[in-house]
Amino acid sequence: MIILSILLGMLLIPLVIALALSLGGVVIAMVIGAFMLIMVMVIKALILPWFEKRDKTRLDENHILLLAQRQEVRLDRYNTINGMNPYVIDCYYRDETTGREFVFTSEPFLQDPSPYLGGVTLGIFVNAEDYSNYYVDTSKLDIPGRVRF
């Protein structure tokens, strides 16, 4: 959702500026471009954190703790941070009642977290009704290079 809104903003700004330039004014294009840039910044700074806080509040109110049965570290090739692909920890959990296996992905790390996992079992806080709302608790790991969004 966040990436989609940022991409949409990045696509709309040049289109609106090109339209304003074709209608006849550099000043109009600059004013519209500045307005749209401010709107994108407001959305990123105020509105998106509100949604994240709301999701975290919902998770805090109605959560259960699962323990990862298996953990794997992988390089996240879909995202880049400062031109580098970050590492993530995939935690696997199999629900004994339904037999379904779930994969929960941690926040990204700039450094390989494999040496820090040792014998640590990570906890996963999940919403009891919606397992897609989760948080992998990596606070036990003393990993440098954590990425905060």
pLDDT above 90: percentage of residues in the chain: 13
- Summarize pLDDT for 19-74 with one digit per residue, the tens: 666 766 666 667 777 788 887 777 777 776 777 776 666 666 678 888 888 899 99
| Mean pLDDT taken over the chain | 78
- Give the list of residues 6+ apart from residue 130 with CB closer than 8 angstroms, or none: none
- Summarize pLDDT for 65-88 with one digit per residue, the tens: 888 888 999 998 988 888 888 899
- CA distances in angstroms from 86 to 48, 51, 78, 119, listed in the order given: 22, 24, 9, 22
